[in-house]
Amino acid sequence: MCDRKIQIREKTEERLAELPIVQYAWLEAGDIPFSEHVREICREECPRYGTSWSCPPGVGTVEQCRARCMEYEGAFVFTTVAEVRDISDLQETLATRRDHEEVVRQLGEIFEALGAKTLALSGDSCARCPDCAYPDGPCRFPGQMIPCIEGYGIVVPLLAEKAGIEFDNGRNLVTWFGILLWK
């Protein structure tokens, strides 16, 4: 690893205590597992499918998403955890995603302040606007849009295993994943 990358890692580590990150791992972009099967689950089971530029099909094919990720070198994988009264209550569970997305944004700012270029992915579709412009118009804030990890075709349980990060932190605890691709 070159001196610049080592310095970015070290300086980022110094700032992590400012954020409510539960676990994290430094991977290479090439370690991220992709699968067309995840895209099938999006299509068949996710209500956000076809409603956001941050989700399929608006986000592009799995191969296009993979190629976008491979433009970066490192992959900082992390989780935040939110407690809810009832994890089967989708509305309550999804309401916690904004806090996680804020952590993703802050982490991106830390990397960028250190001179890194980044691509952020989060655990759900982009929540930047109350109503996504998809499909009638282009994304209003392409520079701030945070695509969904699964929407990219990434196999999160396998990613968690590779990263040594808990996929599930227990009853009524929502585990949100984030990935900061960087170079």
Interacting residue ranges for ligand SF4, rule: CB under 6 A: 52-54, 126, 128-129, 132-134, 139-141, 144-145
**Could you tell me how many residues make up the chain?**
183
CB distance 89 to 182 below 8 Å: no
Residue 42 Cβ, how far from ligand SF4 at the closest point, in Å? 15
Outline where DSSP puts E strands in 68-150. 74-83, 118-121
**At its nearest, how many Å lie between ligand SF4 and the CB of residue 132?**
3
Q: Strands 118-121, 173-182: parallel, antiparallel or unpaired by DSSP?
A: antiparallel
How far apart, in whole angstroms, are the C-alpha atoms of residue 93 and residue 175?
10
Measured from the CB atom, the residue of 128 and 183 that comes closer to ligand SF4 is 128
- Which CB atom, from 43 or from 140, has the smaller least distance to ligand SF4? 140
Residue that has been written with the tokens 């076809």 in this structure: 50
Q: Which is nearer to ligand SF4, 117 or 141 (CB)?
A: 141
- 122: phi then psi, degrees, rounded to nearest 5: -130, 180
Q: How far is the CB of 15 from ligand SF4 (least distance, A)?
A: 25
- The CA distance from 105 to 118, in Å, is 11
Which residue number, 21 or 129, has a Cβ lying nearer to ligand SF4? Answer: 129
Nearest-approach distance from CB 60 to ligand SF4, in angstroms: 13
SS3 (DSSP) at 45: helix
**Minimum distance between the CB of residue 62 and ligand SF4, rounded to whole angstroms?**
18
Residue 91 vs 143, nearer CB to ligand SF4: 143
**Cα–Cα distance between 170 and 162 in angstroms, integer?**
20
